[in-house]
Amino acid sequence: MAVRASTGTVFILAENLVLSAALHPLLRVSGYEIKEFQCLADFLDHTAPEAPCCLLIEFSLPGLNPANLQMILAERGIPIPFIFMMASPDTSGTVAAMKAGAFSVVAAPFDPKKMLLEVDSALARSEDSLYRLNEIDALRQRFGSLTAREAGIIPLVASGKPNKQIAADLGIEQSTVKVHRSRVMRKMGAQSAAQLALMAAKLNLVPAAVSKTRPQQRQQRIRN
């Protein structure tokens, strides 16, 4: 069973009041904050909290194209997992909902255990997403403290190039590379070149594949 997030907000977006009302007792007992909306525009105008949250949204909501919901949320910068609610079980509708990027689909009459499991799992994903976003923000702040030369060295270090090659590429002394490299490691809070490579990948400074393969290749050369 999913680990329940310590805090969380459940947004309910439904014009069908009977559908949304069925969720109230269950969610309130679980201790989550509930916020309701009846149209997508009102929800999009609402600022999502920094705590974990998820969206329970009526699949047949008037004016909603389920296939576009994920794109709309991404364009608005709302990283929130959404669960489609259906008034009755619908196999074809469920398939369409999952293809549209839904975290899951639930249908009335709601099974309490299943509903709580789905909500808890969605909130756990939201919590993980928020953690990763905060991590990226912290990395960007550290990266912003680097000089232009220090920032330019990161992709070269992440690609596995030795100091001698970096010096040749940049047309500077190898001793200067060592100084810049040391400052980069300190400012970024990296303990190793491999860790710096992972940071570079998260900041899109290098392809993610580089951060995974280069350290392994270096280790292989050392063993050989």
- Tens digits of per-residue pLDDT, 14-45? 998 888 888 888 888 788 889 999 899 989 88
pLDDT at 98 (0 to 100): 93
pLDDT at 7 (0 to 100): 66
pLDDT band at 216 (very low <50, low <70, confident <90, very high): very low
Mean pLDDT score across all residues of the chain: 84
pLDDT at 177 (0 to 100): 92
d(CA 4, CA 52): 11
Q: What percent of the chain has a predicted confidence (pLDDT) above 90?
A: 46
Residue 84 vs residues 3, 8, 102: alpha-carbon distances, Å: 21, 18, 7
pLDDT at 50 (0 to 100): 74
**Of 172, 11, 155, whose CA–CA distance to 81 is shortest?**
11
| CATH class, 145-223 region | mainly alpha
Mean pLDDT of 207-219: 48
pLDDT at 103 (0 to 100): 95
Asked if residue 219 has pLDDT above 50, the reply is no
Asked if residue 76 has pLDDT above 90, the reply is no
d(CA 13, CA 85): 9
Q: Specify the pTM.
A: 0.65
Instruction: Tell me whether the CATH fold assigned to 9-136 matches the one assigned to 145-223.
Output: no
Could you report the per-residue pLDDT of 153-183, keeping only the tens digit for each?
Answer: 999 998 889 999 999 999 999 999 999 999 9
Domain boundaries, the chain: 9-136, 145-223
Residue 109 has a CB neighbour count (10 Å cut-off) of 9
Mean pLDDT of 186-196: 91
pLDDT band at 48 (very low <50, low <70, confident <90, very high): low
CATH fold of 9-136 reads: Rossmann fold (3.40.50)
